[in-house]
Amino acid sequence: MKKIFNYLIISVFGIGMVSCTEENLLDLSPVNNISLDDAFSSPSLIESSINGMYNAAAIGQYNSTNPNGGRGYIWGAAFVEQGDNRGEDVVNTATFYQLTYTATYDATTANNVYYWVDGYRLINRCNLVIEGVTKAVENGIITQAVGNDYIGQAKFLRAITHFELLTYFARPYNFISGAGHPGIPYREIGVDTQGEIDSEILAGRNTVAECYQKVLTDLNDAENLITNTSLTKASKNAAIAFKTRVYLHMRDWDKVISEGNKINGAYTLTASPNDPFIDNYGNSESIFSILQVATLNPGVNAALASQYNRRTLVSISPIIWRDPSWLVDDKRREDNSTSTDHGTGMVFTVSGRKYTLKYKDGVNYTDASPVIRYAEVLLNMAEAQARKTSPDLTTSLTLLNSVRNRALADVPSQAYQASNFSNAQTLVGAILKERRIEFLMEGRRWSDIHRLQNDDMFPIDGIPQKVANGNPPASAYTLGTPYDGPYGVDAIPGSDFRFLWPIPQIELNANPALAAEQNPGW
Give, for all 522 residues of the chain, the pLDDT tens digit. 344 444 333 333 444 333 332 222 222 222 346 777 789 999 999 999 999 999 999 999 998 766 667 999 999 999 999 999 999 999 999 999 999 999 999 999 999 999 999 999 999 999 999 999 999 999 999 999 999 999 999 999 999 999 999 999 999 999 999 999 999 999 999 988 777 777 777 789 999 999 999 999 999 999 999 999 999 999 999 999 999 999 999 999 999 999 999 999 999 999 999 999 999 999 999 999 999 999 999 999 999 999 999 999 999 999 999 999 999 999 999 999 999 999 999 999 999 999 999 999 999 999 999 999 999 999 999 999 999 999 999 999 999 999 999 999 999 999 999 999 999 999 999 999 999 999 999 999 999 999 999 999 999 999 999 999 999 999 999 999 999 999 999 999 999 999 999 999 999 998 989 999 999 999
- Phi and psi at residue 100, to the nearest 5°: -65, -45
pLDDT reported for residue 66 = 66
Cα(221)–Cα(235) distance, integer angstroms: 11
What are the beta bridge partners of residue 182?
Answer: 207
Q: How many residues does the chain have?
A: 522
Angle at which helix 374-387 crosses helix 236-250, to 10 degrees, equals 40
**What count of other Cβ atoms lies within 10 Å of the Cβ of residue 371?**
25
Cα(383)–Cα(388) distance, integer angstroms: 9
Cα(304)–Cα(89) distance, integer angstroms: 17
- Phi and psi at residue 236, to the nearest 5°: -55, -45
pLDDT reported for residue 10 = 32
Residue type, 326: W
- Name the helix (H) or strand (E) containing 91: strand 90-92
Cα(243)–Cα(357) distance, integer angstroms: 29
Cα(503)–Cα(522) distance, integer angstroms: 9
- Name the helix (H) or strand (E) containing 128: helix 110-138
CA proximity to 359, closest of 347, 350, 349, 371: 347
pLDDT reported for residue 165 = 98
pLDDT reported for residue 19 = 34
What are the beta bridge partners of residue 147?
Answer: none
Residue type, 8: L
pLDDT reported for residue 404 = 98
Cα(139)–Cα(144) distance, integer angstroms: 11
CA proximity to 445, closest of 72, 77, 90: 90
Return the ∠ at Cα 233 (arms to 228 and 239), rounded to 5°. Answer: 75
Helix (H, G, I), strand (E, B) or coil at 132: helix
pTM as predicted: 0.94
Rg (CA), the chain: 22
**What count of other Cβ atoms lies within 10 Å of the Cβ of residue 490?**
12
Q: Which ranges in 315-455 belong to alpha helices (H)?
A: 318-321, 374-387, 393-404, 411-414, 424-438, 445-451
- Phi and psi at residue 34, to the nearest 5°: -140, 165
Angle at which helix 236-250 crosses helix 144-169, to 10 degrees, equals 30
Helix (H, G, I), strand (E, B) or coil at 377: helix
How many angstroms separate the Cα of 234 from the Cα of each of 49, 157, 240, 291, 495?
15, 8, 11, 12, 37
Cα(138)–Cα(450) distance, integer angstroms: 43
69: left (phi over 0), alpha (psi -120 to 50) or beta: alpha
Beta strands in 280-366 (DSSP E): 286-290, 314-316, 347-350, 353-356
Cα(129)–Cα(48) distance, integer angstroms: 11
Q: Which domains does the chain have, with CATH numbers?
A: 4-70+105-227 (1.25.40.390), 275-288+316-357+373-497 (1.25.40.900)
| CA 118 from centre of chain | 13
> What one-character-per-residue DSSP string does 23-53 give?
HHHT---STTEEETTTTTSSHHHHHHHHHHH
How many angstroms separate the Cα of 71 from the Cα of each of 111, 300, 301, 471?
10, 9, 7, 24
Residue type, 1: M
- Residue 511 DSSP label: -
Q: Does 486 sit behind a cis peptide bond, omega within 30 degrees of 0 on the bond before it?
A: yes
Cα(107)–Cα(508) distance, integer angstroms: 9
Cα(352)–Cα(348) distance, integer angstroms: 9
| CA 375 from centre of chain | 15
pLDDT reported for residue 7 = 33
